Structure 1
Amino acid sequence: MQVVAISKPRNSHEEKLLHAQFELRARVFSGRLSWDVEVKDGIEKDRFDALDPTYILAVQTDGLVTGCVRLLPAVGPTMVNDVFSALLADGRLYSHAAMIESSRFCVDTASDQGRGDSSIHETTLAMFAGIVEWCVAHRFTEIVTVTDLRFERILSRAGWPLNRLGPSIRIGSTAAVAGTLPADRDVLLHLMPSNYRSQITPPSQRAA
């Protein structure tokens, strides 16, 4: 498994990877979780995908995309501020230039690759590390996100607890919460699985 970052696809291979992650989102959010999302022709997209986000993907050795997340600068339009402001203590996100929003995080936990011996799927841990590695490489120090209580517990088990920004509120069938997570090299080293591989940071920028 390898973690990659794609903004604007540079070739047909990256286009195929992005299409695969939209299919994964449809299977997880609409199929498995029954979220109220729009699925058309087997893919799940929303208006925030039109804002030139960066996507972090977990790609297995057979080319399958089994993990994905979308990253957008928090100083622009975000799901936290524009869709889920009720989860914020005073209805407003106090964003800054070093804050990034993470949304549409999902992992195909049915995949045998990445299952490992941990209580947390290795693909999930690799995705966490990939998000933080990308943030460090691009000088983002804080991640804001909306998640459910189950995933908040996973973050705590991983040693990356969410700092809540407001109350937990039931949205549809899900108890949701907004919060922030730190992103720095210490967090990266803590989250990184032993077999972690990525193409996010160019070799010339990696620490010796």
Structure 2
Amino acid sequence: MLRYIYGRDLRHVPILRDSMHRDRADQFQRRLGWAVQVDQNGFERDGYDTDDTLYVIWVQPDGTHGGSMRFLPMDGSTMVNDHFAHVMNGAAIRDPHIWECTRYCLREGASSHIAAALMLAGGELMRGFDLTHLLGVFDARMIRIYRMIGASPEVLGATGEGRDRISVGLWQFRAEDRVKVLQRAGISSDLSEHWFYRSFGRKVLAPRAA
């Protein structure tokens, strides 16, 4: 199932929290070879893992992490503005109605249904928090994954070549994309909205117009 949880509340689910950070270390350091920081516990964390960070996590039947993303409003400190502004020719984006999504992580061997469920959750956040867009940094391998899921972003800028190419992209909510992603994830609309309600105690709203 999908769970939406703020960083300050992760202490209540230590098995889920710890397995997420270990899976992030496994994906970003071991499998992808990124220069990320991994601590003595095998956890990958950085300065954007704060109490106010909102995580979307696919929870396995045993309570461990299956996949996740994290979200921060673009009117505060974000990875895109702090480290990747050069990809957009130095332009910073500061808008509370745009949220940054980073650390898209899948546990090794995770199914494509989990990948799609995470993208579905991003759309539910756009609907539920009156957002215009989501924005993220991604590498070349993600282009195929986004296309397969049915939720390709608008690319705002890119740098590098081949597998080392890094892009900044923008997602806008589209109802037709949501239908595709629901089908890809194998999740009903009612169930997705139930998971959102269970986490936030309120219903999903209509999306803000761009």
TM-score higher than 0.5: yes
Would you say the 8 A contact 1:67–1:105 is kept in 2?
yes
Q: 1:182 — aligned with what?
A: 172
Question: In structure 2, do the counterparts of structure 1 residues 186 and 98 end up closer, same or farther at CA, with 3 Å as the change threshold?
Answer: farther
The residue type paired with residue 205 of structure 1 is K
For these two proteins, the number of residue pairs brought into alignment is 196
CA distance in 2: counterparts of 1:170 and 1:44, whole angstroms: 26
Name which of structure 1's ranges 29-38 and 44-53 shifts more when overlaid on structure 2: 44-53
TM-score by length of 1: 0.84
Would you say the 8 A contact 1:136–1:184 is kept in 2?
no
Report how far residue 170 of structure 1 moved.
Answer: 5.3
Asked if residue 194 in structure 1 is aligned to residue 190 in structure 2, the reply is no
Q: List per-residue Cα deviations over 1:15-36 (Å, max 9, x = no partner).
A: 4322221111111111111100
Q: 1:82 — aligned with what?
A: 82
Would you say the 8 A contact 2:99–2:133 is kept in 1?
yes
Would you say the 8 A contact 1:5–1:57 is kept in 2?
yes
Asked if residue 161 in structure 1 is aligned to residue 149 in structure 2, the reply is no
Q: 2:32 — aligned with what?
A: 33
Residues 57-76 of structure 1 aligned to structure 2 (within 5 Å): 57-76=57-76
Report how far residue 154 of structure 1 moved.
Answer: 1.5
Would you say the 8 A contact 1:148–1:176 is kept in 2?
yes
SS at match of 1:80: helix
Q: List per-residue Cα deviations over 1:92-111 (Å, max 9, x = no partner).
A: 13332210000011112414
Would you say the 8 A contact 1:98–1:142 is kept in 2?
yes
Q: 2:43 — aligned with what?
A: 43
Report how far residue 9 of structure 1 moved.
Answer: 4.5
CA distance in 2: counterparts of 1:102 and 1:11, whole angstroms: 18
SS at match of 1:66: strand
The one of 110, 127, 142 equivalent to 1:136 is: 127
Name the structure with the higher helix share.
2
Aligned CA-pair RMSD:
2.4
SS at match of 1:48: coil
Q: Percent identity?
A: 25
Which consecutive residues of structure 2, in runs of 5 or more, have no partner in the other structure?
Answer: 206-210
Would you say the 8 A contact 2:7–2:51 is kept in 1?
no
CA distance in 1: counterparts of 2:77 and 2:85, whole angstroms: 12
Would you say the 8 A contact 1:30–1:37 is kept in 2?
yes
SS at match of 2:52: coil
Question: In structure 2, do the counterparts of structure 1 residues 145 and 15 end up closer, same or farther at CA, with 3 Å as the change threshold?
Answer: same
Which consecutive residues of structure 1, in runs of 5 or more, have no partner in the other structure?
Answer: 116-120
